[in-house]
């Protein structure tokens, strides 16, 4: 090859880094080609640090707090709204309940009136039944009917029982009524002798005897005996009973229990 071609080949090899300098033909073979690693500049580290957070400004902190407060206020406003709605609903229900209670109270009042009316009718019927029983089972005397009740009561209890039956305790006002009542009581208990309450007492004033209706007693049938004349109880014995064997009157303790006689108006005779 010519010198020009050889020069061109060398130039190419040198451009590729494979050329051998002149006069070093006998030198040891060149080391294998290693590409150079381009190092970075000495003022830039191989591993970059993480960027530091940018400091926040006071204005951004205030905006964050302001927005947080606004969000909390909005939540509170919603809660207050719910409370108002619940309060209104509760108020409506309370009003409805009060209205129902008012109507119920009116109905209860009507029911109580009806119960009182029924109770009064029952009392009236019981009185009428007692009066009819007294005149059918008892003894008629003029415009009165007498009926003996063979059950033990004190004076107040006997008076109450007679009133519940539509009558009152027997009140003989003259000799004729006294004798008729005495005969009836004697025949009822014959042959025994049992005292019965009469509607006579001196509870208001000692020695002033009155009937249960408040009128003064003008006729008396006290027992007269030389050993024990009546009345003899003083202020201790203030209620009058009649013995069934002879019809005489005795004064007794008012809390003593004994049989009693009721009298009723005979409406048939009236």
DSSP 147-195: EEEEEEE-HHHHHHHHHHTT-EE----SHHHHHHHHHHHHHHHTTS---
- Model pLDDT, residue 79: 92
How far apart CA 264 and CA 45 sit, in angstroms, is 133
| 233 in Cβ contact with 170 (< 8 Å) | no
| Statement: residue 211 has pLDDT above 90 | yes
| 145 in Cβ contact with 134 (< 8 Å) | yes
* Neighbouring residues of 217: CB distance < 8 A, sequence distance ≥ 6: 200, 209, 210, 211
How far apart CA 142 and CA 177 sit, in angstroms, is 9
Q: Could you state, in order of their start, the residue ranges of all structural domains in the chain?
A: 138-269
Secondary structure (3-state) at 73: helix
- Model pLDDT, residue 266: 87
Give the model confidence (pLDDT) of 164-206 as tens digits. Answer: 999 999 999 999 999 999 999 999 998 889 999 999 999 999 9
- Model pLDDT, residue 51: 63
Strands, E, within 9-108: which ranges? Answer: none
Choosing among 3.40.50.1240, 3.30.499.10, 3.10.100.10, 2.60.40.650, the CATH entry for 138-269 is 3.10.100.10
* Neighbouring residues of 255: CB distance < 8 A, sequence distance ≥ 6: 154, 155
| Statement: residue 16 has pLDDT above 90 | no
Give the model confidence (pLDDT) of 238-269 as tens digits. Answer: 999 999 999 999 999 999 999 999 999 987 65
How far apart CA 224 and CA 240 sit, in angstroms, is 15
pTM over 0.85: no
Structure-token pair, residue 92 = 């409506």
| 218 in Cβ contact with 173 (< 8 Å) | yes
DSSP label at residue 254: T
| Statement: residue 215 has pLDDT above 90 | yes
């Amino acid at each position: 090859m010519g010198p020009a071609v050889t020069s061109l080949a060398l130039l190419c090899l040198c451009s590729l880094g494979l050329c051998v300098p002149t006069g070093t033909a006998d030198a040891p073979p060149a080391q294998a080609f290693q590409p150079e690693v381009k190092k970075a500049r000495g003022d830039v580290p191989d591993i970059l640090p993480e960027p530091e957070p940018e400091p926040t400004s006071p204005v951004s902190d205030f905006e964050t707090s302001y927005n947080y407060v606004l969000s909390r206020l909005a939540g509170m406003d919603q809660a207050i709204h719910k409370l108002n709605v619940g309060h209104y609903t509760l108020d409506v229900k309370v009003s409805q309940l009060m209205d129902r209670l008012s109507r119920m109270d009116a109905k209860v009042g009507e029911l109580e009136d009806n119960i009182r009316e029924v109770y009064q009718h029952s009392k009236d019927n019981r009185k009428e039944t007692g009066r009819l029983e007294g005149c059918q089972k008892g003894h008629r005397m003029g415009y009165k009917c007498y009926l003996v009740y063979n059950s033990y009561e004190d004076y107040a209890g006997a008076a109450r029982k007679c009133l519940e039956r539509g009558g009152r305790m027997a009140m003989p006002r003259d000799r004729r009524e006294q004798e008729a009542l005495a005969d009836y009581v004697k025949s009822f208990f014959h042959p025994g002798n049992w005292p019965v309450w009469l509607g006579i007492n001196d509870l208001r004033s000692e020695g002033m005897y009155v009937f249960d209706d408040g009128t003064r007693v003008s006729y008396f049938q006290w027992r007269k005996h030389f050993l024990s004349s009546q009345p003899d109880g003083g202020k201790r014995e203030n209620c009058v009973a009649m013995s069934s064997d002879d019809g005489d009157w005795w004064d007794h303790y008012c809390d003593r229990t004994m049989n009693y006689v009721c009298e009723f108006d005979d409406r048939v005779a009236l």
